[in-house]
Structure 1
């Protein structure tokens, strides 16, 4: 008998919309317009003959039927994805979809990717760098990814990629113009930041015993590459995350004007699903990443050989 239920496409649209509780955010993830999502959901509700969402003022919530359907769709689409991947692994060339934060991909991974391709030409690799806060706790269809946090993501295996130390950085020209000698000299200067709370510059001042920073010029940019680029262009001081920012310091694109480095509680982790742990291509790419960042960490530690004080002042995920 021919299947007459909702299409997989309609169920996928419903799943994404239900996860975000927003047609606009669902449209962004699916690369369609919000009206297309709305029409798809409306058609699905008409086919099923019951409502899946409650339309509130500027908000959505799931009806009891919607909650029940979401649970079923999550289970069955996950099962279908696993079955499809199993067939691909048995009969197709090994392939990996890796989600890597934009700065890390551009500045660290891609410049070394030639070596991975030479060593493992049999592995087809696709790297994705788009990021939204909702993806912090999922892999969004990817096989392996890099995340920033405490290593606790339910449903994912997390292996520490590198610890992070923080130091203020600026361009050599900015340091000369403002004659920066001690951390107190940041008062009144433009401080470049990611959109996170609490303000890490205030926490930095607290940790070294400085009085709270008075109101100061700020430049907030939503990704780490923009932060360092702005600092390189003499727009202010940024927070250098070592060892990620080490290549910029090594090439003198930026300098660390103060002998102050803080190790923070959060780290970068490579994450993947437990059911993918035995996939050879996942293990190959994971070990390559671990080796790449171990080398970067060692180079950075040798360059900055003194002990770092451990603090916790970066509490929010960022877009890399």
Structure 2
């Protein structure tokens, strides 16, 4: 406590610091919402208390003396430490909103059904989920990005972790299968297929033609019939509405299969090199809420891959 008793008035120190930074008592007074004479009075009192001049006063100019520079540097460092401490306290008291960016498909089929587990474990962290077809760190203000890639993303400024392997399976609703039963790959090629034009156009997910080639059905007579959609999420919803067969990512429809909303009666799957990846900019990795979310989703994916558990 003796150190506090020896300190000059905080009001005088602020008046001196503002004047030194702004180079003018008038500007300092405006910044501090006081009169210029008040600032001048505080600085004079401070100089008397310290028994030294802090400014060289010229005609309409102020220049720090050597001792004034020492005091200014000390105050600059001290005020920055105080500001940092207050900011940390504020962040602990009211955590910043965690912005998670991902595609509509991943949000609806994987993230949202599981997000309540994170919210129960960390109720103090507010979360905002932004869905967009263009998922990268250059759009918007994401803290965390969850996205698909055919290869390991080459982004040195980000922390990147694999989440889900992309394995493709043909699925449809039980009602559609009951009305249109099939028993072979060839019969599947002649069925009503739901095509994702967006995935084929962007080359991010194989289409039906490549799928049939991968499973050994090279010639598909008469071409492939069906319906065409602009993105994967709409195609998936169409399958749930008993409109036909869709190529689905197994890890995203596991819950639909376990609940009986979708079926894979042919028990066929094609493994790919693609994965869903977790991206975090390195400058954000130290934020507690970002670290907690990344740890949670990474551990969740590992547990689900080993046990097959899916929340209901």
Same fold (TM over 0.5): yes
Question: Which residue matches 1:223?
Answer: 231
User: CA distance change for structure 1 residues 89 and 231 in 2, over 3 Å: closer, same or farther?
Assistant: farther
Take 1:144 and 1:285, find their aligned partners in 2: how far apart are those partners?
Answer: 9
Q: How far apart are residue 220 of structure 1 and its match?
A: 2.4
Question: Which residue matches 1:151?
Answer: 152
Alignment of 1:87-236 (within 5 A): 91-92=90-91, 93-95=94-96, 96-129=98-131, 131-133=132-134, 135-136=135-136, 138=138, 140-149=140-149, 150-154=151-155, 155-195=157-197, 196-197=199-200, 200-213=207-220, 214-236=222-244
**Paired residue total:** 218
User: CA distance change for structure 1 residues 137 and 275 in 2, over 3 Å: closer, same or farther?
Assistant: closer
Residue among 260, 265, 272 paired with 2:273: 265
Take 2:129 and 2:87, find their aligned partners in 1: how far apart are those partners?
Answer: 19
User: Structure 1: which 5+ runs fail to align?
Assistant: 2-84, 303-320
Take 1:87 and 1:140, find their aligned partners in 2: how far apart are those partners?
Answer: 27
Q: How far apart are residue 189 of structure 1 and its match?
A: 1.7
Question: Which residue matches 2:15?
Answer: none
Q: How far apart are residue 87 of structure 1 and its match?
A: 8.6
Q: Secondary structure at the match of 1:212?
A: coil
User: Structure 2: which 5+ runs fail to align?
Assistant: 1-21, 23-83
Q: Secondary structure at the match of 2:252?
A: coil
Contact 1:170-1:234 at 8 Å conserved across structures: yes
Take 1:301 and 1:184, find their aligned partners in 2: how far apart are those partners?
Answer: 33
Q: How far apart are residue 99 of structure 1 and its match?
A: 0.9
Contact 2:189-2:224 at 8 Å conserved across structures: yes
Q: TM-score, normalised by structure 2?
A: 0.62
Q: How far apart are residue 176 of structure 1 and its match?
A: 2.5
Q: How far apart are residue 299 of structure 1 and its match?
A: 4.5
Q: Secondary structure at the match of 1:239?
A: strand
Take 1:101 and 1:89, find their aligned partners in 2: how far apart are those partners?
Answer: 32
Question: Which residue matches 1:54?
Answer: none
Take 1:219 and 1:88, find their aligned partners in 2: how far apart are those partners?
Answer: 54
Take 1:101 and 1:90, find their aligned partners in 2: how far apart are those partners?
Answer: 34
Q: Secondary structure at the match of 1:211?
A: coil
Question: Which residue matches 1:275?
Answer: 283
Larger Rg: 2
Take 1:87 and 1:224, find their aligned partners in 2: how far apart are those partners?
Answer: 46
Q: Secondary structure at the match of 1:243?
A: helix
Take 1:178 and 1:86, find their aligned partners in 2: how far apart are those partners?
Answer: 66
Take 1:119 and 1:185, find their aligned partners in 2: how far apart are those partners?
Answer: 47
User: CA distance change for structure 1 residues 300 and 227 in 2, over 3 Å: closer, same or farther?
Assistant: farther
Q: TM-score, normalised by structure 1?
A: 0.61
Instruction: Compare 268-277 and 221-230 and name the one that shifted more.
Output: 221-230
Take 2:219 and 2:136, find their aligned partners in 1: how far apart are those partners?
Answer: 31
Contact 2:167-2:250 at 8 Å conserved across structures: yes
CA deviation string 1:196-220 (max 9, x = no partner): 3365211111112212333232322
Take 2:293 and 2:139, find their aligned partners in 1: how far apart are those partners?
Answer: 16
Take 1:266 and 1:86, find their aligned partners in 2: how far apart are those partners?
Answer: 44
Q: How far apart are residue 107 of structure 1 and its match?
A: 3.4
Question: Which residue matches 1:39?
Answer: none
Contact 1:99-1:139 at 8 Å conserved across structures: no
